[in-house]
Structure 1
Amino acid sequence: MPAKNLEIMPLRPIGRSGPLVSRFGLGTMTFGSETSEDEAHRQLDLFTAAGGTLIDTADVYGAGASEEIIGRWAAQRTGGYDDLILATKARFAPPPNSAGASWRGLRIALEASLLRLRAEAIDIYFIHGWDQKTSIDETLSTLADFVAEGNIHHVAWSNLSGWQLQKIVSHARAHRLPVPVALQPQYNLLDRTIEIEVLPCCAEEGIGLTPWSPLGGGWLTGKYSPDERPTGATRLGEDPDRGVEAYDRRNTDRTWRILLELREVAAELVRQPGHVALAWLADRPCVSAPLLGARTVAQLSDNLAAANFVLPAEHTERLTRASAPGLPAYPYGFLRDWSELDIWRTLGTENQE
């Protein structure tokens, strides 16, 4: 395992009230599906050797296999999870007839996750998405019970719109229930949609971001081209229609303009495009720890080379300008022009559509 010459990651807080975590987290969606247990354990060893502390999983990853793999690794490790921040998610996996974010669904999900992970408690417990069939009060009250019981330490959410996040925060504050310390959205140079409403809400409420897909499903490594569909042993090579990073969905003029600027910046800095993309994201407003998701130790090792890489301000501005999604003229452009909230100007959303 390439454990020597590792750059030890700095720590930073998650939002205003969350724990300290490493600059990058380890995403484990591939464990038990695309990544074998032995390879997953080597990734965990490498990540922690580089000073990584945030390990992120979910009960649906590999139908529970990801949690089980992490649990067996922790059981063999001196100190177990003592020096780590363990995060998992619930919402989609409970048995039939059990609503995802209901009292019953979350109780079943949490007990199962604790068993698979061989953990006494979850440091950050994410609700994996909005549940329109369950009231926010029921979900938050259930999470408050988990905190009181010592089974979880912090509450968080994934994949929300701006109004959903604000509704959760407002209800939590009004009823003295746990306020989310983190949000886990998709966020990268190719998809900055959260900057319209979600990110400003996080800035206003002191919520940290742990973005997934920081490299856009591999697009920001520069390995794809506009005139050749991907093939071979890559995510899009095996499934070009895969999710939000599907080849036909992202094969656009805007994508190639961003990638051209990314390659030029990387060449000037003598770095790989992926390192530059990770560094840009890691230092965006509210971002606490982008999640590195890799199939192999070699891929993870490559990404960890950006552990302490900070983009010069000039290059950050170039990438921000090149990837600016723009704001619809109304109401967002109008509101930005009149807003006293500096976050919109910091985000570089000046180009309106």
Structure 2
Amino acid sequence: MADMEYTYLGETGLEVSKLCLGCMNFGSGWRPTYQDDWTVGEEDGVEVIDHAIENGINFLDTANTYSTGGSERIVGKAIQEYDRNEVVVATKVRNEMRQGPNGEGLSRKHILDQADASLERLDTDYIDLYQIHRWDDNTPIEETLSALDHLVNEGKVRYIGASTMPAWKFMKALYTSDVENLDRFISMQPEYSLVRRHEEENVLPLCDEEDIGVIPWSPLYGGFLTGKYEREEESPDGSRLGESGRSPDEVYSDEEWQVLDVVRELAKERGVSPTQVSLAWLLHNEIVTAPIIGPKTTEQLDENIRALGVALTDEEIERLEAPIDPVWTASQ
């Protein structure tokens, strides 16, 4: 297996592994108003986290809303076996935790309440990276940043980050931090993969200009880039698509299938898996800090880690990128 590699998160001195373990898959899957059936329970989740840390992954990403706190509890249990200083724990706030007033959002009340709840579930004294899960149009960004700055000053949070928003909103937040002398976002979590490259026309140039760390979510596009789906066939049992009752032909565009065809061709030529080719493409991108991988088993995790050993040529990267011309629209 490839040796783990490390890099700095944005312009900070915080060292993180070049693969980040996403923990959304761990827990009951229950959230207010709906249930996900593709998650795994505590025992399997702890096993994957243990295996990740033992293989050099020091960067774990979760959120309060994942399994309505269940994922954070699993992460908290797993990290008790390790030196806390050796693990970088990231979580998020914004999305609905309960129905009713103040059950979601980025108000000072919700942020401070949820930070304390996350600390309790994670069974830790501090959060390394506290991220806003989405923008909140109902709360002034000054209020949100002031609350996050307070958490940093209290020592409950080390760094703050953001996820998924138009570049102009992200720049507004960075500008506000600079003008008001408030703690600044050091990272961004955009959706980014070989078949979802719209952020190249939105937030990624801004991250490059402002030295913001980039932590892409869904680097395998919900499993599509693993090659487990086929045209004109039913979705595999246990897959997210299968649980939704939709077929691959309903969901994926012709351009996306064209990308997968190239991924499969290169994987066959290289003697590696489509997963490893897809992750290697992200790892070759200088703007990317660490893709957020989401394995549910140690076998899937090992396959992901081996992507670090796949060196793509410029010609291969051009082949992978050729089917899609990235476009950003406000609806994304």
Instruction: Give TM-score, length-normalised by structure 1.
Output: 0.86
CA contact (8 A) 2:135 2:165 kept: yes
Distance 1:156 1:327, change over 3 A: closer
Aligned match of 1:32: 27
Greater shift, 64-73 or 295-304, is seen at 295-304
- 1:14 corresponds to 2:18: no
Output one character per residue of 1:300-323: Cα deviation in whole Å (capped at 9) or x when no partner: 222122133332222122212233
Matched residues in 1 for 2:82 and 2:227: separation? Answer: 39
Q: For residue 325 of structure 2, what is the aligned residue in structure 1?
A: 324
Query: How far apart in 2 are the matches of 1:123 and 1:40?
Result: 20
Question: What's the offset of the Cα at 1:93?
Answer: 3.7
Of residues 171-180 and 104-113 in structure 1, the stretch that sits farther from structure 2 once superposed is 171-180
Letter of the structure 1 residue corresponding to residue 238 of structure 2: A
Distance 1:238 1:97 in 2: 31
Distance (Å, rounded) in 2 between the aligned partners of 1:38 and 1:64: 16
How big is the shift at 1:248?
5.0
**Partner residue of 2:101?**
97
Question: In structure 2, what is the equivalent of residue 61 of structure 1?
Answer: 66
Q: Does 1:227 align with 2:228?
A: no
Contact 1:190–1:323 at 8 Å: present in 2 too? yes
Q: Which 4+ residue blocks in structure 1 deviate beyond 4 angstroms?
A: none
Name the counterpart of 1:74: 79
Cα distance between partner residues in 2 of 1:144 and 1:31: 29
Change (3 A) 1:203 1:78: closer
Cα deviation, residue 111, structure 1: 0.1
Partner of 2:212: 207
Amino-acid identity (%): 36
Range that drifts further, 104-113 or 159-168? 159-168
Contact 1:27-1:57 within 8 A present in 2 as well: yes
Gap change, CA 1:142 and 1:165, over 3 Å in 2: same
Q: Distance between the aligned counterparts of 1:181 and 1:261, measured in 2?
A: 34
Give the Cα separation in 2 of the matches to 1:55 and 1:155.
15
The alpha carbon displacement at 1:89 in A equals 0.3
Question: Against the structure 1 CA distance between its residues 249 and 151, is the aligned structure 2 distance closer, same or farther, given a 3 Å change threshold?
Answer: farther
Question: Does the 8 Å contact 1:32/1:62 carry over to 2?
Answer: yes
**2:186 & 2:8 partners in 1: Cα distance?**
10
On the 8 A contact 1:94/1:108 being kept in 2, the answer is no
Please tell me the residue identity of whatever aligns with 2:186: V
- Of 168, 193, 206, the residue aligned with 1:163 is 168
Aligned to 2:316: 315
Which residue does 1:217 correspond to in 2?
Answer: 222
Q: Is the 8 A contact 2:119 2:125 kept in 1?
A: yes
Q: Who is 1:261 aligned against?
A: 262
Cα distance in 2, alignment partners of residues 11 and 42 from structure 1: 22
Whether the aligned pair in 2 keeps the contact of 1:59 and 1:93 (CA below 8 Å) is: no
Distance 2:165 2:62 in 1: 18
SS in 2 for 1:266: helix
Q: Is residue 294 from structure 1 mapped to residue 295 from structure 2 by the alignment? A: yes
In 2, the alpha carbon distance for the partners of 1:9 and 1:132 equals 39
* Deviation for aligned residue 1:162: 1.1
- What displacement does 1:133 show? 0.7
For 1:85, the aligned partner's letter is V
The one of 131, 134, 138 equivalent to 1:129 is 134
Deviation at 1:116? 0.3
The question of whether the paired residues in 1 share the 8 Å contact of 2:198 and 2:328 is answered with no
Question: CA separation in 1, counterparts of 2:131 and 2:327?
Answer: 30
Aligned AA (2:230): S
User: 1:261 touches 1:319 (CA, 8 Å); kept in 2?
Assistant: yes
Cα offset, 1:206, TM superposition = 0.9
Preserved contact between residue 240 and residue 247 of structure 1 (Cα < 8 Å): no
CA distance in structure 2 between the aligned counterparts of 1:152 and 1:167, rounded to whole angstroms:
22
**Structure 1 residues 111, 327: CA separation in 2 closer, same or farther (over 3 Å shift)?**
closer
Count of aligned positions: 317
Q: Are the aligned partners of 1:67 and 1:113 in contact in 2 as well (CA < 8 Å)?
A: yes
1:297 CA displacement:
2.1
What corresponds to 1:84 in structure 2? 87
Tell me the CA shift for residue 50 of structure 1. 1.3
Structure 1 residues 73-125: Cα deviation after superposition (integer angstroms, max 9, x where no partner): 222x042x220111000111455321511110000000000000011110100
Cα deviation for residue 43 of structure 1 reads 0.4
Contact 2:230 2:248 in 1 (8 A): no
TM-score scaled by structure 2?
Answer: 0.91
Partners of 2:297 and 2:211 in 1: CA distance = 34
Cα distance between partner residues in 1 of 2:170 and 2:277: 30
Please name the residue that 1:49 is paired with: 54
Deviations 1:215-274 (A, max 9, x none): 011110111112113131222122245xxxx83554221111111111111122221111
1:135-284 residue pairs with structure 2 within 5 A? 135-241=140-246, 247=248, 250-284=251-285
